Structure 1
């Protein structure tokens, strides 16, 4: 049995998980350029990591974190204005990799574009737990974009 040929599948929707980092911004730039060329919709997703349990945050902290994530999505959506691309955003709570994969499935995403940070030798060798899990378990193509500020200095 042969693997599916994703090279011929049209890209109509792209999911960009974001935490506001330089790597995530580089991924968004790449996704916007692809979406502009392919006439695709870009979905921005930011996840409030609750993997340590809901009691690790006070209610005021959760509301402030959620407001901060909403502001991030508004800022990133506004920064995409120079492209002729529809951009939508969502904030979710949960384990980041699980939420990314769930969102992609629910919204029938065609491609994921992730940022990769390099914070040291171990992180350089591994993608990072979230990116690694997404790459290993995604059912659609995943493009991993390195942080442009890492390396080369």
Structure 2
């Protein structure tokens, strides 16, 4: 049913919770796990000169650590993995990656937001992915949230 499963990562603790759901689905389906980290181009564009370059390098290093952690966990379960770090707007880049790599399922984490946070934010990456995906999206709420 699922041959290619994408688990986007931002390197946060929420990803650990996402893996507890995504990796068993991959095991059951003998799927390849794709791990993607997106260096948010809006952040690097906001910086200037050397600061921009330093920030981009730091984000890429964080991304490498994040996708390597997923790769290690997936490989411990005997799963094939593909890792990638791309630059762009996170939700858009995740959806483009899914289309380009024949992804069958996206497993993405989210942090629960209070009603006030929802009103003041521009929307989360996971919400944008769900709203625009043409494939199933499994959203995993961070277990540390209080359900608001």
Shorter-normalised TM range: 0.7 to 0.9
5 Å-filtered alignment, 1:29-108, equals: 29-52=20-43, 54=45, 56=47, 57-108=51-102
Deviations 1:23-79 (A, max 9, x none): 222112211100001110110111111125635252122112212211221122113
Provide the TM-score with structure 1 as the length reference. Answer: 0.82
TM-fit CA distance, 1:22: 2.4
Q: Is 1:132 matched up with 2:127?
A: yes
**1:139/1:70 CA distance change after superposition, 3 Å:** same
Number of corresponding residues: 143
**In 1, are the aligned partners of 2:44 and 2:55 still within 8 Å (CA)?**
no
CA distance in 1, matches of 2:61, 2:44: 19
User: What is the root-mean-square deviation of aligned Cα atoms in Å?
Assistant: 2.3
Aligned to 2:139: 144
Q: Which ranges of structure 2 fall in alignment gaps of 5 or more residues?
A: none
Counterpart pick for 1:12 among 3, 13, 16: 3
Q: Which ranges of structure 1 fall in alignment gaps of 5 or more residues?
A: 1-9
**In 1, are the aligned partners of 2:44 and 2:52 still within 8 Å (CA)?**
no
CA distance in 2, matches of 1:130, 1:52: 15
